[in-house]
Amino acid sequence: MSECAFCPHFAKLTAEHITSKWMGQIFPTRKKFKATDHLGAIREWASKGLDLKARVVCATCNNGWMSDIENKHAKPVMAPLMRGEVSATFGQNEARSLAIFAFKTAVVLDHDQAIMQHQEPFFSRRQRYAFRERLIIPETVRMWLTPYVPSKTRRRLDIRVTHSTHDLLPSYPMQIYSCSCGIGALAFQVIAYKQMFSVDFRPRSPDFDHLAIPFWPLLLPGYTWPGYRCLQSAEQFHAFARRWIDPEPVMPFS
C-alpha cells in the first residue's frame, strides 16, 4: 500500500501511462521503439505501440480526472503536433492543454524517480493536490516546446528527468527540476525551481534559446507551429534536456 502522487489515499497503486495508447496509434506502421527513459536507461522493444508506465497513482485518480486530461486536453492538441502537421493550430488555449498534460507527466516521472531512489518528491503535496483539484500549475513552473525530427526515425521516444542545484547568485543556491519529453515530432520541457524569492533565470547553456519556444505561462505571441528549425537527433534532444545543468553549449546545429 502506497500513497497516491495526487491524493492522500493509500492504496495499491495503478500504472499511469507516460506514453498513452493513442500516441502509439499515430505511428501505426512502427514495430520497434527505442527510448531513453527518465532513469537514464536505454530501452529498445518490439511493439505495436508506445507503452511506458509509472506505478504512482491510485485507480480513482487514474480512471477519473487523469483520464479526462488525456481525452479533453492531450489527444486533441498533441496528436497533430506529434505528426508534425504544418497547419496545426496552436494558440493560448492549446498551450494550456499541452501544459496540463506536460505538468501531469512531470509530476508522475518525478514521483516515480523519488520512489526508486528513496527520496522526497520535488513537487510538494500542496502543489500536487491543487493540480488534481483545479488543474493549477505552480507559479514556479515554466515550459518550452520545439519540433523534434530525428534522422533515425526509429528513435521516436525520449524522456529525461534531471534535478540540479547550482548558485544563481553568490552564496544563493537554487534547486532546478527539469523534465523533457520527445514524442513523435514534438518535444516539450518543463522546468520548476525552488528559491526564496522570484527572480528571472536562464538556462546555463544558451545553445537552444533560438529553438525552444516558451508556451507556459504565456505562449510566444504570433507563434506558428512547427517553425523553421527543429531538434535533429537524439543527441541534440539530450543536450536540450540538459541545458539547465550544463554551463556550456554541447551540441552545435548544422
Q: Is 250 within the bounds of a domain? A: no
Side chain identity, residue 82: M
Report the distance separating Cα 94 and Cα 224, nearest Å.
12
CA distance 50 to 35: 10
Establish if 34 belongs to a structural domain. yes
Answer yes or no: is 251 within a domain: no
The domain total for the chain is 1
| Residue 18 within a domain | yes
Q: Name the residue range of residue 220's domain.
A: 2-241
| 248 found inside a domain | no
Torsional sign, CA 114, 39, 226, 253: positive
The per-residue pLDDT string of the chain (254 residues; one tens digit each, 9 = 90 and over) reads 678 999 998 767 766 666 777 887 776 655 555 555 545 555 555 555 566 677 889 989 999 999 999 999 999 999 999 888 876 778 999 999 999 999 999 999 888 887 777 788 899 999 999 999 999 999 989 999 999 887 655 446 777 777 666 655 566 667 888 889 888 889 999 999 886 555 566 776 667 878 889 999 999 888 888 877 888 888 888 888 888 876 544 443 33
